[in-house]
Amino acid sequence: MAALALGLATAGRAAADDGYRLWLRYGHPAPAGAVAVRGASPMLDAAAAELRRGLPAVAGPVLLASAADPSIAALNLPVSRLGEEGYLVRRGRVDGREVTLVTGNTDRGVLYGAFALLRHLDTGGSADAIDLSSAPKVKLRILDHWDNLDGVVERGYAGRSLWDWWTLPDFKDPRYTDYARANASLGINGTVLNNVNARAESLTAPYIAKAAALADIFRPYGIKVYLSARFSAPIELGGLKTADPRDAAVAAWWRAKADEIYRAIPDFGGFLVKANSEGQPGPRDYNASHADGANMLAAAVKPHGGIVMWRAFVYADTDPDDRAKQAYTEFKPLDGKFADNVIVQVKNGAIDFQPREPFHPLFGAMPKTPLVMEFQVTKEYLGFATHLAYLGPLFTEVLDAKTGRGSETVADVVDGTAEHHRLTGMAGVANIGDDRDWTGGTFNQANWYAFGRLAWDPDLHADAIAREWARATFGASPGVVDPVVAMMMISREAVVDYTGPLGLAHLMATGHHYGPGPWVSDLKRPEWNPVYYHRADRQGIGFDRTRTGSNAVAQYAPAVAKLYANPRTTPESELLWFHHLPWDYRLKSGETLWDGLVHRYDRGVATVAEMRATWQGLKPFVDPERWDKTATFLAIQEREARWWRDASLSYWQSVNGLPLPAGSAAPAHDLSWYKAQTPAFAPGNPK
């Protein structure tokens, strides 16, 4: 009787789940003998081990084998299109035996094929008609960890660093292997271990040994290790007087350092560099160019096959020009000047990972230079780990944007279709920490997942990825999957609505990037103040980036520049990014700009309430642990969406003196109350 009651209880509510398994929530291990492997290598072993963990019995016997194996070669399969990383998974007869064959031109292809097979079966694919084949469109699919050596992650999202630098290289936490499995399941093939705000110590012998231990763990999963390099390391570690990239001793120091790293990590990927940005040292300190700096480092890693990812995220307080223009101004003239193992890493938008930004004008403007797309998977400006915001639509909106050069899209630039560069890449600033569920909340896992899937194929659709993830994460019942996908697909726009609708951006409070502060005007660098970005006054609001203003629109190709030059042809979602408009400007709906703005704030709050209600309805289907945490987080999000809305509206009203449209509730407090909210240690406060 007790057993029966227990059984019913379990059936009534999904079994306990702490989120640790991510989307790899296999039901049962494969039956004994179900998985056979031809050949031996750590990567094939990893592939077989994964299938043994979770292959459903319906899949029948599976054979993992390289396409070069004589029995496989004899089948004349279409493997040439798979390249070095693609896979083919197919039912067929091999040596007289009916099997599900997982193959590729390399062991890595086989590894990705094993994960593809699991994904196929786990997300409702039929076991009878298995015929899967895919090759990644982007070559470097990389996570950037903004993790400091003291265990703190830049601005504190998703817990503390996953890397326990102190106990490395001796203690190899099993989590490191699970991290590698999760990444390999998506095809992520590189990881930058340390923060771009780098410390020179990460390049010392003890830290190289620690990085080498991680590289050893990740290697069977096809993941290369990279390090962020501090440009002034030759001074700090080498005792040199300069870090000038044109100085022979500096170049020699970096060559010796690269040699040392490659002795410990033979397949080391290379360096990521943030130079002359937000206080970081760089070649501009010596009147050398970013290309001089990048090429000097590139020469050091070149003999070993390494690369340099050089970030274009630069802006200076000494430059009075619109911050949105500065990266283009600095980098566009350098097109064609970078060594062939340098790749320039460009954030998706021209300012800084805002909930919405138009695509960065450098995409399409540097045809001679391979550009890595840098997305932020962690939600620095979208409520960190607490708020639910599925970033698939943000990523695809940027990738699908037309650059204005014929029918070219940003994705075409990133995946190399446009210029056929040898190197192509997509980088995601990781949201992974030491939380049990890795990302500080179940839905944040979806952003890691979506980044990985899009890095493999930038043409995938955000809703299809959401569906795949939801099935793998919560199970196959349409009663769960459909509502979860619906919530996810409206979630990012909700954050845009309650934090900065109609193209507003960078409105957060001082010291943290979590709550509202559109009134802030007292920071020493002009472009750190929200008032710099919204420019609201009694007459109107928005940043004029047309010819009458900063003319940032001219950085886009003419076809796009023309659209953005005119408020009528600018998408309303980006309106105030490009235009300063009167409060009574008429939106396409016929309402005034002010009324439309207020309605969007209202809509943002209402959408969060709707997401909450949907989640309430899912209680019977989701395990208590994951359900409760998400329910609580949604309650926090609704409260904070109101905070954003009310604080913002009371400030805008203090500027324009306009009444709220009928039906919109007055803010709960007056402006001074919102200004007084300075939560200590709010996420995003580095101090």
By CB under 6 A, name the binding residues for ligand GCW: 146, 154-155, 196-197, 274, 278, 313, 352-353, 380
Cα–Cα distance measured from residue 634 to residue 609, given in angstroms and rounded to the nearest whole number? 8
| Minimum CB distance to ligand GCW smaller for 154 or for 602 | 154
Q: Compute the least distance from the CB of residue 277 to ligand GCW, in Å.
A: 6
Q: In the numeric block, which tokens belong to residue 62?
A: 């599976």
Q: In the numeric block, which tokens belong to residue 687?
A: 């101090």
Q: Are strands 140-144 and 97-104 parallel, antiparallel or unpaired?
A: unpaired
Among 392, 411, 399, 403, which residue's Cα sits nearest to residue 462? 392
**Sequence-ordered alpha helix ranges (H) in 476-592:** 478-499, 530-534, 558-565, 575-578
560 Cβ contact partners less than 8 Å away, ≥ 6 residues apart: 402, 403, 404
Mapped onto helix, strand or coil, the DSSP state of residue 64 is: strand
Using CA atoms of 299, 301, 302, 305 in order, give the dihedral in degrees to the nearest 10: -170
Q: Compute the least distance from the CB of residue 542 to ligand GCW, in Å.
A: 22
Token look-up 């990266």 returns 327
Q: Are strands 62-66 and 35-37 parallel, antiparallel or unpaired?
A: parallel
Q: Compute the least distance from the CB of residue 507 to ligand GCW, in Å.
A: 14
Q: Compute the least distance from the CB of residue 232 to ligand GCW, in Å.
A: 16
Question: By the 8 A CB rule, do 686 and 631 touch?
Answer: no
Question: By the 8 A CB rule, do 144 and 272 touch?
Answer: yes
**Taken in order 425, 431, 436, 437, is the CA torsion positive or negative?**
negative
In whole angstroms, how large is the CA radius of gyration of the chain?
Answer: 26
Q: In the numeric block, which tokens belong to residue 568?
A: 């009528």
| Minimum CB distance to ligand GCW smaller for 135 or for 372 | 372
Q: Compute the least distance from the CB of residue 250 to ligand GCW, in Å.
A: 23
Q: Compute the least distance from the CB of residue 328 to ligand GCW, in Å.
A: 17
In whole angstroms, what separates CA 638 from the centre of its chain? 24
- Angle at Cα 593 formed by Cα 588 and Cα 595, nearest 5°? 105
383 Cβ contact partners less than 8 Å away, ≥ 6 residues apart: 389, 495, 514, 637, 640
Q: Report which residue's Cβ sits closest to ligand GCW.
A: 352
In whole angstroms, what separates CA 218 from the centre of its chain? 20
Q: Compute the least distance from the CB of residue 344 to ligand GCW, in Å.
A: 14
| Minimum CB distance to ligand GCW smaller for 196 or for 649 | 196
| Minimum CB distance to ligand GCW smaller for 107 or for 380 | 380
| Minimum CB distance to ligand GCW smaller for 50 or for 330 | 330
3-state secondary structure 497-546: HHHCHHHCCCCECCCCCCCECCCCCCCCCHHHCHHHHHCCCCCEECCCCC
Mapped onto helix, strand or coil, the DSSP state of residue 453 is: helix
Cα separations (Å) of 437 from 17, 387, 573, 626, 629? 10, 15, 34, 9, 11
Q: Compute the least distance from the CB of residue 391 to ligand GCW, in Å.
A: 15
Among 267, 225, 223, which residue's Cα sits nearest to residue 85? 223
| Minimum CB distance to ligand GCW smaller for 353 or for 514 | 353
* Beta bridge partners of residue 158, listed in sequence order: none
Q: Is 341 exposed, middle or buried (0-12, 13-18, 19+ CB in 10 A)?
A: buried
Q: Which helix (H) or strand (E) holds 307?
A: strand 307-311
| Minimum CB distance to ligand GCW smaller for 505 or for 576 | 505
Question: By the 8 A CB rule, do 161 and 195 touch?
Answer: no
Greatest C-alpha distance within the chain: 82
Cα–Cα distance measured from residue 92 to residue 267, given in angstroms and rounded to the nearest whole number? 36
Q: Compute the least distance from the CB of residue 16 to ligand GCW, in Å.
A: 36
Which residue type does 416 have?
Answer: G
Q: Compute the least distance from the CB of residue 271 to ligand GCW, in Å.
A: 15
Cα–Cα distance measured from residue 297 to residue 251, given in angstroms and rounded to the nearest whole number? 7
| Minimum CB distance to ligand GCW smaller for 143 or for 480 | 143
| Minimum CB distance to ligand GCW smaller for 196 or for 217 | 196
Question: By the 8 A CB rule, do 446 and 452 touch?
Answer: no
Question: By the 8 A CB rule, do 284 and 290 touch?
Answer: yes
Q: Compute the least distance from the CB of residue 274 to ligand GCW, in Å.
A: 5
Q: In the numeric block, which tokens belong to residue 159?
A: 């817990």
Question: By the 8 A CB rule, do 81 and 92 touch?
Answer: no
Q: Are strands 87-94 and 97-104 parallel, antiparallel or unpaired?
A: antiparallel
Catalytic residues: 278, 352, 380
| Minimum CB distance to ligand GCW smaller for 132 or for 682 | 682
| Minimum CB distance to ligand GCW smaller for 185 or for 228 | 228
Q: Compute the least distance from the CB of residue 261 to ligand GCW, in Å.
A: 22
| Minimum CB distance to ligand GCW smaller for 90 or for 274 | 274
